[in-house]
Amino acid sequence: MQQSLDKSKAGASRISLATREAIWAYIFLAIPLIFFLFLRIWPAIQSFYLSLFSWHVDPAKREFQGLGYYLEMLREPRLHRALLNTLLYTVIIVPAQLALGLGIAMLLNTITRLRSLFRAIYFAPYVTPAAAVAWVWGWMYSVNFGIINTFLIDWSIFWEDRGITWLTIDPQPFLTSPKQALFAVAVVVIWQNLGFQVIIFLAGLQGIPRMYYEAARIDGASSWALFRNITLPLLNPVFVFSLVISTIASLQLFDQVVNINFTDQGGPLNSTLTIALYMYQEAFSRFRLGYAAAVTVLLFSLILIVTLIQLKLTSRRVDY
């Protein structure tokens, strides 16, 4: 008895402490990994499978469609509109968020008093429910009651009274105009998600050692040169992270669009429709889950391709 115990002890000690720690680390890491595989990867594979069949509650009654739904996507004008809108949202929202996020972060980085107050103010919209945000903006954009048009009218009266008519601006239709609605929604998204970008950039800025700036200043570098040659290159990893995250979020845009024009989601005239909303409507208003699954595969591929291109083009290591 005693002997065998000793033997097993000796066996155990043959695994080094480092290896044992690594094994435990792998075990702990495996738990979220299994979770991730089960809740993310497996459904993604399933949705590809579903996209090959017409939908029915009873799996035995699902009819094989082959690539039928993918061919249907080619002829579906509403999907093409959603695709175009989504790309438009992305090219408006992402650059605006990165530029404004970095600009505000740099301003916050230069002040020391009340910094946390300002940071909290900029972050507040990010943690406000999309429904509440959309509701308030819906009223601000209102043609007949909204504060923006009230301002435009008062502004125009002010200049008209002084005879300077070229400064007057007519009240705008905003969300009720198929031409303006997408931009109006994009402004809301930029405003709401800006706080997240600010926090990320601020953390990045604070990670850059002061001594680089001090050394460069002693050498007589201008502020622009400091920004161009120190801030931007050292911020690159943060920049790439922000770019990828905000691009993915824009490609998946759903909440704000759904909430801001609740009675005509994606309207007017499909002008604010996104791929994610289109997919949701096909699945849960029209019960075409097979086709909707094909749309998710499209969205997944789009995000994958765009992200890979972005990573390829933007990530480079910078060391000083």
Partner 1 sequence: MKSAIKFLLAASLFLGLSLAQEVTITYWQYDFAARVDAMSQLIEQFEAENPGIKVVQETFPYDNYQEQVAASLPAGTGPDVVQFFYGWLPTWERSGYIQALPEQYFDTATLDAEFVPMVQAAKLNGAYYGLPTAVRSLALFYNADKLAEAGYDNPPATWDEFLEIAKALTVKRGPRFEQIGYGIAPTGQDHHLLREILTRQFGTAPYSDDGTEVLYDNEAGLEAFKFYTSWVTEHEIGVPEFVPGNSGYRDGYSTQQNIAMIIDGSFAIGGIRNNAEFNWGVAEIPTLDNGVKANFGSFWMNGLSPNAFEDEATLEASAKFLEFVTRPEAMKLWLDVVGEVPARLSLIDDPELASDPVFGPFITSLGYAVATKFVDESAQRDVIVNAINRVVLEGADPAASWSQAAEEDQALLDQYAQ
Q: Which residues form the interface with partner 1 (CB under 8 A)?
A: 55-59, 61, 135, 138-139, 141-145, 149, 153, 170-171, 173, 175-178, 262-264, 267-270, 281, 283-289
* Beta partners for residue 64, in sequence order: 53
Q: How far is the CB of 177 from partner 1 (least distance, A)?
A: 7
Percent helix / strand / coil, the chain, rounded to 5: 75, 0, 25
Instruction: Give min distance, CB of 189 to partner 1, in A.
Output: 18
> Residue 118 or residue 135: which is nearer to partner 1 going by CB?
135
- Give 21 or 63: the residue with its C-beta nearer to partner 1: 63
In this structure, are residues 133 and 256 in contact, taking their beta carbons and an 8 Å threshold?
yes
In angstroms, rounded to a whole number, what is the distance separating the alpha carbons of residues 155 and 145?
16
What is the C-alpha separation between 48 and 72, in angstroms, rounded?
15
> CB 302 → partner 1: shortest distance, Å?
23
> How far apart are alpha carbons 200 and 186 in whole angstroms?
21
Nearer to partner 1, 149 or 192 (CB): 149
CB of 41 to partner 1, least distance (A): 19
Closer CB to partner 1, 80 or 286, in the complex: 286
CA angle, 264 as apex, 263 and 267 as ends, to 5°? Answer: 150
Q: Residue 58 or 219: which CB sits closer to partner 1? A: 58
CB of 275 to partner 1, least distance (A): 17
If the CB atoms of residues 128 and 222 are measured against partner 1, the closer one turns out to be: 128
CB-nearer residue toward partner 1: 6 or 160: 160
Q: In the complex, what is the shortest distance from the CB of residue 131 to partner 1, in angstroms, rounded to a whole number? A: 10
Residue placing its CB nearer to partner 1 in the complex, 5 or 60: 60
d(CA 257, CA 9): 63
Nearest Cα to Cα of residue 124 among 192, 179, 45: 192
Least CB distance to partner 1 at residue 38 (A): 15
**Which residue from 292, 239, 309, 289 is spatially nearest to 98, judged by alpha carbons?**
239
Residues 6+ positions from 56 with CB-CB distance below 8 Å: 62, 63
Euclidean distance between CA atoms 306 and 285, whole angstroms: 29
Strand partners, 53: 64
Rounded to a whole number of angstroms, the minimum distance from the CB of residue 23 to partner 1 is 37
How far is Cα 7 from Cα 163, in angstroms, rounded to an integer? 101
User: Which of 139, 173, 181 is CA-nearest to residue 266?
Assistant: 181
| Contact predicate 51/64, CB 8 Å | no
